[in-house]
Structure 1
């Protein structure tokens, strides 16, 4: 089945300075109307190389409770590894359409592969974005069929990044655990332990003639436990705070950390999943590389019993991650 990719629509739209109706958001979503202009939100920035672990625990916990998002610097992933990750992702999306379609999503592939639509949208609206999904860890969950063969260095760059990323995620899980009074290993264990799945997504937002009317990705919280994201230098990430949408400040070589739904559930609401969305740019292509740290599909997630008591009764149902995903993608109540 032939699918209209946003990259192709962008090329046509550029010549007529308009966009198809299905990309025009309602007024209560349009970036021009709903963004607090002239202000860039400086979300907490945490230096992960600080030798004071108690301080790091406090900073990570506070950011996760009050913001649901923070940026980490001096995180230990070499700049060169991030540069290569960005380079090979960009090269893939610049390939001819037929090359990219060789790893297009199919009904059998589930979420993995190259595609455009992701979830049900109200009134049939669409996001101004194409994407590529594939698992990068653990080895037992990887299907290289959905990894680009071209550029040839794609696999090497992604494997190197995945290896370095695991150290960062282990630190973050430890600090988040300690930050709510658990033992250091408990939060990671509760979200899948060594079976935790690292799902890479590359978002490709081509230039859009009417960035005032369109969104790349609509307002949402992530289904993951944590999301660790590399952006390119083009502004686009927005966070909802105090009734307004704010641009988030770009910091070169920082990683952006989102608290996802599963950490909010496991912490019984102590940590908050961040409501965010993506805007697009008139002249430039924006890209981002979020990695979603997800429980295995059959893994059941619910509030950790130590964090539930009479004063803090359970705020969420326990359910298998695959059932949570199904409900969220199909806009069904949890």
Structure 2
């Protein structure tokens, strides 16, 4: 890559610096632990991105919905919960769920086990530092490090849990038990939510389960360490998830923001809660009934690391011919498809050909009238 010039940085060879940083296998956790006061050039974002990086206005009263699942199996209450989930998925694309069946002790242990991995000495973490997206276990800084114009201040441990069964011994020992257990707990929550979302579209409760909407699972344990210049970079830049559904668990350190009606909203922690968000594929499959929305993470100005564990759920069973698109049972002359069918190859190429971004798949598949 040719040298890039930035008025504030001077001239430098970006790809050379990216390669040197990547080959050091130290991650941003290593940079933070070293006590640096200035972040490397490769992490500095453009002025447009940096211009609105701030907590949401303290005057705003808008927040993503919180939905209580404690009566999910009660005939007297389920219809109301379905309506709440449907409304949240249509309006915000994000919502908290509480009383979801997972004990708080399990939530805490999951966060602690992922934190333990990231707090290991550099040489122990470095054993897993590699780039093999799509299978097994991978620890790295930014999956799109070589595809993006500016890196984000975040390290991630990825584990592809399914459909190919991941061998437990491939997972780092320090977090092995917690990762395996969380995959099971989060999948149970996702299956419950997918049932509610299915009913919200007027479909049979288990329709999404039959369509294998939760059978491909990627677990990612993010670490956002302290950043000495949080106004010059991001934790994760604004993007939408390409999956069907995402289940997110986090510690108390702030930073997550969701875009709602052109305003960035801080997502405050809810005790014992999990965050659910709609992915691009669910927006397409629901023919626009459910919405994936932009979200981002601010660079961490706290001395304590921000930890978040996400599981991305996607389908495994594609239609005959390898295509997918809006569900036929949701279409009618009054509600024609607004997205075209697409292939798994198109999905993969859209993700791996560029850096993290917002709704590029949705935009690409929208039928232009």
TM-score by length of 1: 0.89
> Which of these residues, 253, 256, 259, is aligned with residue 240 of structure 1?
259
Following superposition, the deviation at residue 307 of structure 1 comes to 1.2
SS at match of 1:314: coil
Q: How far apart, in 2, do the equivalents of 1:326 and 1:222 lie?
A: 15
Distance 1:108 1:204, change over 3 A: closer
1:214 & 1:108 partners in 2: Cα distance? 24
* Structure 1 equivalent of residue 16 of structure 2: none
Distance 1:60 1:132, change over 3 A: same
Distance 2:113 2:122 in 1: 16
Contact 1:129 1:205 in 2 (8 A): yes
SS at 1:291's partner residue? strand
Is the 1:73–1:255 contact (alpha carbons within 8 Å) kept by the matching residues of 2? yes
Match of residue 327 from structure 1: 350
Unpaired stretches in structure 1, ≥5 consecutive residues = none
SS where residue 56 of structure 2 aligns?
strand
Aligned counterpart in structure 1 of residue 192 of structure 2, from 171, 179, 189: 171
| C-alpha separation in 1, matches of 2:311 and 2:133 | 22
TM-score by length of 2: 0.81
Which residue number in structure 2 is paired with residue 304 of structure 1? 327
The structure whose Rg is larger is 2
2 CA distance for matches of 1:142 and 1:301?
Answer: 26
Aligned to 2:204, what secondary structure does the other structure show?
Answer: coil
SS in 1 for 2:234: coil
When the two structures are aligned, how many residues end up with a matched partner?
326
3-state SS of paired residue (2:125): helix
Deviation at 1:67? 0.6
Distance 1:210 1:243 in 2: 26
Indicate whether 1:8 and 2:30 are aligned.
Answer: yes
Following superposition of structure 1 onto structure 2, how do residues 104-123 of structure 1 map, counting pairs within 5 Å?
Answer: 104-107=129-132, 110=135, 112-119=137-144
Gap change, CA 1:129 and 1:193, over 3 Å in 2? closer
User: Secondary structure in 2 aligned to 1:90?
Assistant: helix
Q: Is 2:111 the counterpart of 1:86? A: yes
1:277-296 equivalences in 2 (<5 Å): 277-282=296-301, 283-296=303-316
Match of 2:82 in 1: 57
Deviations 1:204-238 (A, max 9, x none): 11101121221111111111110000011000110
Cα offset, 1:122, TM superposition:
7.6
Q: RMSD of aligned C-alpha atoms?
A: 2.4
Deviates more, 1:301-310 or 1:69-78: 301-310
- Gaps spanning 5+ residues in structure 2: where? 1-22, 355-359
Q: By how many angstroms is 1:41 displaced?
A: 4.6
Please state whether the residue corresponding to 1:250 is helix, strand or coil.
coil
Q: Secondary structure at the match of 2:237?
A: strand
Alpha carbons 1:65, 1:272 under 8 Å: kept: yes
- 1:300 is displaced (CA, Å) by 4.2
CA distance in 1, matches of 2:157, 2:148: 24
Deviations 1:173-203 (A, max 9, x none): 111011011111222333x257x12211001
The range that moved more, 30-39 or 290-299, is: 30-39
Q: Does 1:28 align with 2:48?
A: yes
Counterpart-to-counterpart distance in 2, 1:126 and 1:250? 26
